[in-house]
Each structure stands twice: as structure tokens, then as C-alpha cells.
Amino acid sequence: MLKNVAAVVLDRVHPFELGVVCEVFAHDRTEDGVPLVDFAVVSAEGPTVRTHAGFTIGTSYGLDRLEEADLIAVPSGDAYATREFPPELLAALRDAVDRGARVLSVCSGVFALGAAGLLDGRRCAGHWRHAAELARAFPLAVIEPDMLYVDEDPVITSAGTAAGIDACLHLVRKEYGTEVANAIARRMVVPPHRNGGQAQFIKHPLPRSRCDTVGEVLGWMERHLDREMTVDELAARAHMSPRTFARRFQQETGTTPYRWLLRQRVLLAQELLEATDETVDSVAGRAGFGTAAGLRHHFLRTLGTTPNAYRRTFRGPVLAEARRVADPSEVTRRSA
């Protein structure tokens, strides 16, 4: 369980990326049902460090604070691809993983994890501009330059700033469930769950557009995901020929009607698996896959996992506990 989080700052740290970690984990949002985390900013190079913007950050916490952390986050900074990292920091990162804690990098913070030897034999993400440098520096790492983030638990790596938000929220969802992650995302006014290949825990959003001519049809499709629908039917709703509709749909959404519909159905299934106790058969019917076998097939193809495995990963212990407490029979058993 994530109860203790530390963010490590080094000279020339990027304050925005540090702020990403602080925004997700440091705020007291207990009024929104978000568990309180013991959070600290830890300096690896003295009580005061410079940011790349020229101002300084001061903290009373040194590297000994990392010994208590369940999660150590390393934001990016200038020249992290070429600088030498303090040996004490690298040892603390290795010790954290050895004792079962997690480490997370935002953008070029991944170079600190690599210098600690934590990328060897692991898949990892980083900013596309650093992919070649990352591969040269750590030849035993498996670089994923097109991915927003990679969860190789206990090592989580992310690309640029927004991907750092995604990675942090992903970890919150994994630990506490979708309701807690959504509560944080709402306060931050960011997407709670960017979608993509869950096998790598990567979030690739579908392109967004104004949808000038197919917007009404998209709305109808979203409201009727459980129905069978054809391009001819959708084109008739848009008052277009099927060929014109398919071309406009591609132009305005960046994908085909079938792929868009499949993605929305998978998204709905994910939401139902995370937030309800409905059976997989019921989820499959509501999401338009018909049967549990159909849902499983598309989950494996799209997300690289099964519906049951996805539910176990993302339901989170907080939601499970809340449901047990709400169950009168559970209360009776505990009283007995």
C-alpha cells in the first residue's frame, strides 16, 4: 500500500515535473475520499538545490528519508543524461527495490534509475528525445520510445510531463482503485485514465477533434454501445453515403468507425470491471461484446490481459474493503 512517498531533487531539477509528483501525492484530499500519504521532498545534494529555471528549492529532508518510502519518485532535470549521480542516491534506489518499495521516474529522471542498475533487463519509457542516449547508456535496458509509460513493477518509468501524470495516476489506480484515481484527476482537471496497451500499462489517447459532421453520430454510438451497428446505419443517421461517412469519420476522429466503436466498448468494459460487481457476462453484454468469450478475446487483443486479471489489478484494496464493510453479511460475520 502506498503510504509513504518521497520525491528526490537534484541540482537543476525541473520544477514542473517535481510539481507533478507533488500534485498527485502531496495534497490532502481526504475530503474527497483520497487516502492521506506521508509525503516529503528529499534532496540528494544538500538542503538547497537550484532548479533549471534559476530559483532554489530548500528541504530539511536528506537521503535517509528514503529508507521509509514505499515509493521514490525521481523527476527530470537538466543534463541528467550526462551527469554523475550521487552514489548514495543510487544505493538508496537499489535498496528501496530490494526491500519491496517502488521507484518511479518522470522524463529524464529515468537516467538515475539506469545509473542505479534498475533498468537492466527491464522495459522502460523515456522522452523520445532521450531514447538514443538512453539506449547507449544502458544497453541492457529495453527502451520503449513510443510509449507514455511502462510499469515493470517495482520500476515505473514515464516519458514527458503529461506522461508523468499518467504514470502517477496509474499507480494510484493500481493501489487504491479507480474511484480514488478519478477523484484526484478531477481535482487536477486531467484525464483520469489515458488508454492503450495495458500489458505495458501504456496510455495512448485516441485523437480528439471537433467532429463537425459526425459528432451527433458519435454521441448516439456512445449511448448505444450494446447494440449492433453497421456503417450503412451510421451513415444514414449522418445523412451521408457510407463511403462519404467512412471518409469523414476517419478525417475527424483519426480512426475507422469499427476501431472507434471497439475502443469505446473496451473503455466501458474497463469502467464496469473497475467500479461494479457485475459478472463478466453482464459486463460483456452491456459493453456490446455479447458474451464473456467475446469480451475476453478483445481484451486480450487490445489490452494484453483478461477481464478477470484486469479487475484484480485495478479494483484496488480500498474499493474492495469499502464493499466488504457495506455488505451486511460481512458486518455480521465480523461481529460474530
164-173, 234-243, 299-308 — which is least confidently predicted? 299-308
Judged by DSSP in three states, 152 sits in strand
Sign of CA dihedral 271, 276, 281, 287: negative
- Concatenate the DSSP letters of all residues of 199-248 into one string: TTT---PPP----TTTHHHHHHHHHTTTS---HHHHHHHTTS-HHHHHHH
Q: How far apart are CA 127 and CA 146, in angstroms?
A: 9
Cross-strand pairs, 57: 49
Q: Looking at the predicted structure, is the pLDDT value of residue 203 above 80?
A: no
Q: Looking at the predicted structure, is the pLDDT value of residue 332 above 70?
A: no
User: What CATH number labels 4-188?
Assistant: 3.40.50.880
Asked if the 259-320 domain carries CATH number 1.10.10.60, the reply is yes
pLDDT band at 99 (very low <50, low <70, confident <90, very high): very high
Q: What's the confidence (pLDDT) of residue 324?
A: 47
Stretch 61-71: mean pLDDT, rounded? 97
**What does pTM read for this prediction?**
0.65
pLDDT, tens digit (0-9, with 9 covering 90-100), for 264-286: 899 899 889 988 899 999 999 99
Q: Which three cell numbers stand for residue 275?
A: 467500479
Strands 123-124 and 142-143, bridge-based pairing: parallel
Question: Which H/E stretch holds residue 9?
Answer: strand 4-9
Q: List, in sequence order, the alpha helices (H) in the chain.
A: 15-25, 87-98, 110-115, 131-137, 161-176, 178-188, 215-223, 231-237, 242-253, 257-275, 280-286, 292-303, 307-314, 317-326, 328-335
Average pLDDT, the chain: 86
Question: Which H/E stretch holds residue 143?
Answer: strand 142-143
Q: Which three cell numbers stand for residue 125?
A: 519509457
Stretch 72-77: mean pLDDT, rounded? 97
